[in-house]
Homo-oligomer: A and B are copies of this chain.
Amino acid sequence: MSTETPTEPHGAASPAPSPSGALSRRDQILREAARLFAERGFHGVGVDEIGAAVGISGPGLYRHFAGKDAMLAELLVGISERLHEGGRMRLAEAVAADAPATEALDALIAGHIDFALNDRALITLHDRELDRLRDADRKRVRRLQREYVELWVSVVREVHPELDEAEARTAVHAVFGLLNSTPRLSRPAALPDQAVTAALLHRLARGAFAAGAVRNGTAPDGIRPD
């Protein structure tokens, strides 16, 4: 509960991932905490376990974080920011390059896939442990999430104007669910190959949006694109 951040080395949020190669102790902790939280849930992991995962024990964590909550908060805020910022950047690039909207959408999809495949634990946490956050942090994360969704919605509606606002939003959420499904794919090794999987997911996402926009009769066999 203490809002005083007793022993926080860094001032605020700058991740400062690593100067080179090795991670700082602080980042080691974040990485392991993310993995454990994703595996067994926030309440299912004890601080002793997190400590053990980085070779120190229990209360030693308090030299780096104000508490267990603070770790989760930093993880969730960090993800949301990176996702949002990544999306914003890719979109800005596409606009700057005068690219068609379909390319912008592809860029968003590719970016999200990249994230989903490389930060599985964080993706899992992202929509699983949000409510454990303090009010301020939760609001921040939600705002970033909302803005990220709106980014997608605007591009999707540009590519598929037949979709109204609500449909586009639902479709975007659904495609997020689709893209974020890989962490639930039992084992990393079960995936054929990262590149193959990425390409497949990309096709699935594009196809979903395209089909969502086609509001024809009930004929299931009429859905031949091209």
Once bound together, how far apart are the Cα atoms of A180 and B178, in whole Å? 9
Nearest B-chain residue to A221, judged by Cβ: B102
Report whether A109 and B177 are in contact in the complex, using a CB–CB cutoff of 8 Å.
no
Number of copies: 2
Report whether B220 and A203 are in contact in the complex, using a CB–CB cutoff of 8 Å.
yes
Chain B interface: which of A13-21, A35-43, A47-55?
A35-43
Nearest B-chain residue to A103, judged by Cβ: B220
Once bound together, how far apart are the Cα atoms of A223 and B209, in whole Å? 11
Main secondary structure of the interface of A (DSSP, over half): helix
Q: A198-B222, A200-B170, A223-B207 are in contact. Are A44 and B132 (CB under 8 A)?
A: yes
From B41, B103, B200, B226, give the contact of A43 (CB < 8 A). Answer: B41
From B40, B100, B167, give the contact of A131 (CB < 8 A). Answer: B40
Chain B nearest CB, measured from A135 CB (Å)? 15
A155 at the interface (CB under 8 A from B): no
A212 at the interface (CB under 8 A from B): yes
A202 at the interface (CB under 8 A from B): yes
Report whether B184 and A210 are in contact in the complex, using a CB–CB cutoff of 8 Å.
no
- Chain B residues with CB under 8 Å of A179's CB are 174, 177
Report whether A173 and B200 are in contact in the complex, using a CB–CB cutoff of 8 Å.
no
Report whether A205 and B208 are in contact in the complex, using a CB–CB cutoff of 8 Å.
yes
Q: Binary interface profile of A, 179-203, with partner B (CB < 8 Å = 1, else 0)?
A: 1111011000011100111111111
What are 12 sample pairs from A and B whose C-beta atoms fall under 8 A apart?
A41-B41, A106-B222, A109-B220, A110-B220, A110-B221, A128-B128, A173-B185, A178-B178, A178-B181, A204-B212, A206-B223, A210-B223
